[in-house]
Amino acid sequence: MAQRREFLKFLAASPLLTNYSAFAQEVEETIGERIKDPSEVINVFEMEAIAREKIPPAHLGYLATGVDSDLTLRANRAGFSRFQIRPRRLVDVSQTDTSVNVLGSEAKSPIFLCPVGSQGAYHADAELGSARAAAAKGHHMVLSTQSSTSVEDVIEARDAPIWHQLYPTTRWEFTIAMLQRAEAAGCTTVCLTIDLPGGRNTETSQFLTREDNRNCSSCHQGQAKPMLEGFNMQGVGLNSSQLTWNVIGRMKEVTNMNVVIKGIEVGADAALAVQHGADGIWVSNHGGRATETGLGTIECLPDIVNAVNGRVPIVVDGGFRRGTDIYKALAMGASAVGIGRPYCFGLGAFGQAGVERVLDLLNRELLITMRGSGTPTLASIGPDYVQDAGYRVPRGKLGLDLY
């Protein structure tokens, strides 16, 4: 722990801090020692602060990183400040309902667990902890190609069908094999991630890896990627730079799963995806880990909702840390909202119990916002409940994360 403190002190004095603390409130560095029980954690930012103390720095760097100067990562948070909620009064909000059905997948909450790879790096509970938490709280889960746990085991832990996220690899026969395995396991939808066709520059991750020179091979034991097992990956990339829109039709030839396209940021691409047969659109910039200096995803949403025009459901992720953030996306036309890092912070801080706490916190905040705005059901949350100021409200200097 003393070593850890030294490391955190180093970071506090380092120019790295601006990248490193992109989301964090100012929290005492020993918060993880003071808060022993997840029920004491007050919000997602505090969970992040605890996770930062508990996850090994190099792994934390991978979880926290954006690309280049982390500007898209920050835009995801800053974008929410453009939109304000317009609450209505004297509506009976004594009965609330947050249940959703997206492409036949039912959930108690519109907050989906995004595909996040290698969860064994954050806690030994790994994807099974996330799946059990999702089951306990009634959330829908999407599993990464890079999962450290097999799709079959995760479905058993979730006790319901999940969605599979696909990195198609540069070998089409591997793609077919993964699709067939996911479908046989019980996945109902495949989300093809299309936002990383040409590599990326994850500097925050590299900085922290450089500072963490311990031999952590023990962390990596058992970190095989079951979805890629049995494939000779020598010279094979996870992402193909040759993919074009006909990939949707090619996937539909070999699977009966719904096909959702993950990584759309522009309305014209959403229209192309629907035109080529996509069953759903996932608005995402990979949590600021793909193209640098993009818009926040919440800012991309209106253009995409307009282009899709209700033909298929829309999921959006990127920087969602508050119930109000989720409410805004629902009001603007999303059917569901994905969270990536927040539940992994919970996982890193307390394992499954931490994921459950993150889901509880966000559901509670969403419910408070729904009641406070006079919208007791998701169907009642429409475009009239949110307004675009047209500019991002500058971040304050009060020592709190104002977003």
Ligand X SMILES: Cc1cc2nc3c(=O)[nH]c(=O)nc-3n(C[C@H](O)[C@H](O)[C@H](O)COP(=O)(O)O)c2cc1C
Could you say which of 19, 21, 98, 144 contacts ligand X (CB under 6 A)?
Answer: 144
Choose, from 59, 123, 164, 286, the residue flagged as catalytic: 286
Radius of gyration of the chain (CA): 20
The string of DSSP letters for 168-209 reads --S-HHHHHHHHHHHHHHT--EEEEE-S-SS----HHHHHHH
Binder to ligand X among 132, 139, 181, 286 (CB under 6 A)?
Answer: 286
Number of other CB atoms surrounding residue 33 within 10 Å: 12
163 binds ligand X (CB under 6 A): no
At position 264, the amino acid (one-letter code) is I
Between residues 289 and 328, which has the closer beta carbon with respect to ligand X? 289
- Residue 361 contacts residue 321 (beta carbons within 8 Å): no
> Of the ranges 6-14, 112-120, 252-260, 390-398, which one interacts with ligand X (CB under 6 A)?
112-120
Q: CA nearest 312: which of 260, 353, 363?
A: 260
Residue closer to ligand X, measured from CB, 185 or 376: 185
Region 192-251 residues binding ligand X, contact defined as CB under 6 A: 193
CA 171 to chain centre: 27
Give the C-alpha separation, 21 to 43, whole Å. Answer: 16
Q: Figure out which of the listed residues 132, 139, 262, 357 binds ligand X, where binding follows CB under 6 A.
A: 262
Using the minimum distance from each CB to ligand X, give the nearer residue, 331 or 339.
339
In angstroms, give the least distance from the CB of 346 to ligand X: 12
Which of 145/150 has CB closer to ligand X? Answer: 145
Instruction: Report 312-351 residues binding ligand X (CB under 6 A).
Output: 317-320, 338-342
Rounded to 5°, angle at Cα 205 from 203 and 209: 115
String of DSSP letters for 50-82: HHHHHS-HHHHHHHH--STTTHHHHHHHHHGGG
CA 230 to CA 268: how far, in whole Å?
A: 38
**How long, in residues, is the chain?**
403
Mark whether 276 is an active-site residue: no
Selected binder of ligand X within 105, 146, 149, 150 (CB under 6 A)? 146
**What mask, x for binding ligand X by CB under 6 A, covers residues 44 to 83?**
------------------xx------------x-------
Which residue number has the CB closest to ligand X?
340
Q: Which residue ranges make up the site for ligand X (CB under 6 A)?
A: 62-63, 76, 114-117, 144-146, 165, 193, 262, 284, 286-287, 289, 317-320, 338-342
Which of the residues are catalytic? 286
